[in-house]
Amino acid sequence: MAPSSDDHKFYTSWSLIPVLSLEEEQERKEYESGHIISPLTAFFAAPITDKKQISRLSQALYLQYPLSGTLRHLKRVCACQSRLEILLRPVTPEDQLNLLKNHMDISKQNDDSPKKTFDYKTEINLQVTDILQDGCLDLNGLGKPYIVSVPSRAAKNQNEQQVWASIWPCTYHAKPKITNLKECNSGDGVSEQGLLQIERNMHQALEAAQQNQSRGGKGVGAVVVDQESGKVVATGTDQTGVEGDPLLHACMVAIDLVAQQQGGGAHVKLSNMQEVDRLHKESEQGVESKGNEREKRKRSKEKYAGTEVPYLCTGYEVYVTHEPCVMCSMALLHSRVSCVYYGCSTSGGALGSYYRLHCNPGLNHRFLVYRGVLEDECQRLFCGNEI
Ligand SMILES: [Zn+2]
């Protein structure tokens, strides 16, 4: 829960809720249920009887039977506590048939069905030479082989990794912040100070929306903030009124004002609109001057040496009172915004309600999205049908 602060106009509590992909939502449910069970696959393995042979055996097996594709997470050697074992190669369906002929029912060890225990070792009546039949390998240092069941895919989060590692050593690559389930569930990933800053920024969007509404416009506001400096770069409000342009939703206005600061912008008449002009000037004060902003962006190009000019909103985050529509979400995506915070959901919203464009694997940019910031206050604003 966000902290309340006496120097704020609003005192309500709110929750910072990550908007995840469907897959990430599923992971979160598993995490919350506490039932994490590894899918397993069968491997021939053998004890290492001569420690001096570990490196040589690992390299030889790596060349002959690489752990590639979906098995890349598996480490070749298990050297935990008293265990010193090495994976030889996967058990193939043909192996299973042969073993079944020898009355070795290992089929139950090789399916993907959940298992509650991991007493995974199955003795077999074979020698290493029966399993590694190419004759090229020097098998010195290997003991009598057996079959082990190991995780058949990489762990998706740290909790899974704990379970996986108790079965067989595996590598794990942490995902970006949004899929860190611990952070998602407890909010531990954002400090109290961070939550206050988020609230302050959303408060600015709310204030702009309220002013726009008091002048007969729609109560939707958006601010663009430089993540590094924390300064407001642009503030936009919905300008789709009778005199306005139907495309001028708050996010579109804010993005266009950023573009104008960088020498572009498609909606020149925005600067003639009294309210937006005032907000624009406030935005300029936030970054001192247009010139400074342009210079800063120019300097930021150095960070991207060897690549094209940074995108319009690279390194910027957006605070918007209402969940953006498809048009605004695509504009945010194309301008490469890094994170979007919004207050309340909208039925046709494209960042969680109707679509989840920010985590669509078919699109070439993904960004973090959080909802629920000052949700009640945002909800109270009249916003009309489109935002
Ligand atoms: Zn929109």
Q: How confident is the model at residue 308 (pLDDT cuts 50, 70, 90)?
A: low
Residue 44, pLDDT > 90, answer yes
Q: How confident is the model at residue 36 (pLDDT cuts 50, 70, 90)?
A: confident
The predicted model gives 48-52 an average pLDDT of: 90
Return d(Cα 312, Cα 309) in angstroms, integer: 9
Return d(Cα 237, Cα 16) in angstroms, integer: 23
For ligand 1, the distance from its centroid to the CA atom of residue 342, given in whole angstroms, is: 12
For ligand 1, the distance from its centroid to the CA atom of residue 387, given in whole angstroms, is: 4
Q: What is the mean pLDDT of the chain?
A: 79
For ligand 1, the distance from its centroid to the CA atom of residue 331, given in whole angstroms, is: 9
DSSP state of 240: -
For ligand 1, the distance from its centroid to the CA atom of residue 362, given in whole angstroms, is: 21
Residue 204, pLDDT > 90, answer yes
Q: Which residues lie across from 169 on neighbouring strands?
A: none
For ligand 1, the distance from its centroid to the CA atom of residue 85, given in whole angstroms, is: 58
Q: How confident is the model at residue 221 (pLDDT cuts 50, 70, 90)?
A: very high
Return d(Cα 125, Cα 137) in angstroms, integer: 21
Whole-angstrom CA distances from 22 to 26, 352, 385 are 6, 10, 26
Return d(Cα 277, Cα 274) in angstroms, integer: 5
For ligand 1, the distance from its centroid to the CA atom of residue 335, given in whole angstroms, is: 14
For ligand 1, the distance from its centroid to the CA atom of residue 230, given in whole angstroms, is: 24
Task: Measure the CA dihedral 151/152/157/159, to 10°.
Answer: -20
Question: What residues pack around ion ligand 1 (CB closer than 5 A)?
Answer: 249, 325, 327-328, 387
Q: How confident is the model at residue 107 (pLDDT cuts 50, 70, 90)?
A: very low
**Within its chain, how far is the Cα of 256 from the centroid?**
27
Q: How confident is the model at residue 73 (pLDDT cuts 50, 70, 90)?
A: very high
For ligand 1, the distance from its centroid to the CA atom of residue 247, given in whole angstroms, is: 8
Q: What is the pLDDT of residue 269?
A: 60
CB of 41 closer than 8 Å to CB of 150: yes
% helix, strand, coil for the chain, step of 5? 40, 15, 45
What are the structure tokens assigned to 121, written together?
């070792």
Please report where in the chains the tokens 């690549």 appear, as a residue: 307
State the Rg of the chain over Cα. 28
For ligand 1, the distance from its centroid to the CA atom of residue 361, given in whole angstroms, is: 22
Q: How confident is the model at residue 210 (pLDDT cuts 50, 70, 90)?
A: very high
Whole-angstrom CA distances from 252 to 2, 138, 255, 325, 368 are 28, 67, 5, 10, 19
Q: What is the pLDDT of residue 253?
A: 94
Q: What is the pLDDT of residue 189?
A: 61
Q: What is the pLDDT of residue 8?
A: 46
The predicted model gives 303-330 an average pLDDT of: 83
For ligand 1, the distance from its centroid to the CA atom of residue 324, given in whole angstroms, is: 5
Higher pLDDT, 116 or 369: 369
Q: What is the pLDDT of residue 87?
A: 95
Return d(Cα 87, Cα 140) in angstroms, integer: 15
Higher pLDDT, 311 or 371: 371
Q: What is the pLDDT of residue 12?
A: 57
For ligand 1, the distance from its centroid to the CA atom of residue 336, given in whole angstroms, is: 16
Return d(Cα 233, Cα 162) in angstroms, integer: 43
Higher pLDDT, 190 or 355: 355
For ligand 1, the distance from its centroid to the CA atom of residue 371, given in whole angstroms, is: 16
Residue 182, pLDDT > 70, answer no
